[in-house]
Amino acid sequence: MEPSHPQTTLEPVDYDRVQHDVYAKGRALSAGSIASHMRTFAGYLPARRPLTVIDLGSGTGRFTPALAEAFGGPAYGVEPAAGMRRAAEAGAADPRVTYLAGEAGAIPLPDASADIVLMFLSFHHVPDQAAAAREIGRVLKPGGRFILRSTFRERIPDHWWRGFFPRSWAVEEAMFPSTGEARALFEANGFSTVESVEMEIPFEGPIGEMVERLRFRAVSTFEHLTPEELDEGFARIDAALAAGTIEEKPTFGDFIVFERRQDTPARTPK
């Protein structure tokens, strides 16, 4: 990991401005990659089926149908950005899936209604993370599992594109919690930590396709860089691609599995 940088204050990302138009293409995963995630998560979940799942911060629904398929459904994709929900309804529809307007601090589902809550690279967008922890505890059944898939500050991945956008290190240090901070937050709000998982994900090439996908700029980190930084970074990428000097690197798929404690009552919002 790169040396620490001075703390940066970040503005919220408005996914209704641009990202909803490009996210599905820019952040697409192969069917094999999605299936691998489902198998990995299943190892930390009950074997019984069906399981009711909430995909919290579901975006364009890239995981929501797979969650319904893997765990039997129903699956609820809860997403605050209207443009992202429209994209999900158009491109990731499934009879077992319902997409709902909502956010981590206000989930539009009843108390103790879910067996699983997944947040996949969305927790860093939540403005009141303590309120989110309480709300996730409210909608989970006692003993239900919460999977927090995130980058963590002590393990920011050195993506193949990282060196072309040098300030992205500082942005992501400000963007993401540490593992310890995440654990402390949820353990203070009715959860026990089951396991913190550090996972390496192999590079998914070919590099030309990865470059074309990155051109959609569907990376929230890029929202905090200047247009000049982005243009200069992509010019460097083009030169390196032409020269064949881009280094293909693996990334991380770290996550924490929490369990809602049996003795923690659901907290209905007032």
**Strand residue runs (E) in the chain:** 51-56, 72-79, 97-101, 114-120, 140-149, 191-197, 200-201, 251-252, 255-260
Q: What pTM value is reported for the model?
A: 0.90
Q: Identify the pLDDT of residue 263.
A: 77
Domain spanning 19-260, CATH architecture:
3-Layer(aba) Sandwich (3.40)
Contact 33, 25 (CB under 8 A): no
DSSP assignment letter at 193: E
Sequence-ordered list of residues with C-beta below 8 angstroms from that of 111, at least 6 positions apart, any chain: 138, 139, 266, 268
Question: Tokens 């994900």 sit at which residue?
Answer: 201
Q: Identify the pLDDT of residue 4.
A: 42
pLDDT by residue for the chain (270 residues), tens only, comes to 443 444 456 666 655 555 555 555 556 778 899 999 999 999 999 999 999 999 999 999 999 999 999 999 899 999 999 999 999 999 999 999 999 999 999 999 999 999 999 999 999 999 999 999 999 999 999 999 999 999 999 999 999 999 999 999 999 999 999 999 999 999 999 999 999 999 999 998 899 999 999 999 989 899 999 999 999 999 999 999 999 999 999 999 999 999 999 876 555 444
State the amino acid at position 256 in one-letter form: I
Q: For the chain, how big is the Rg over CA atoms in Å?
A: 18
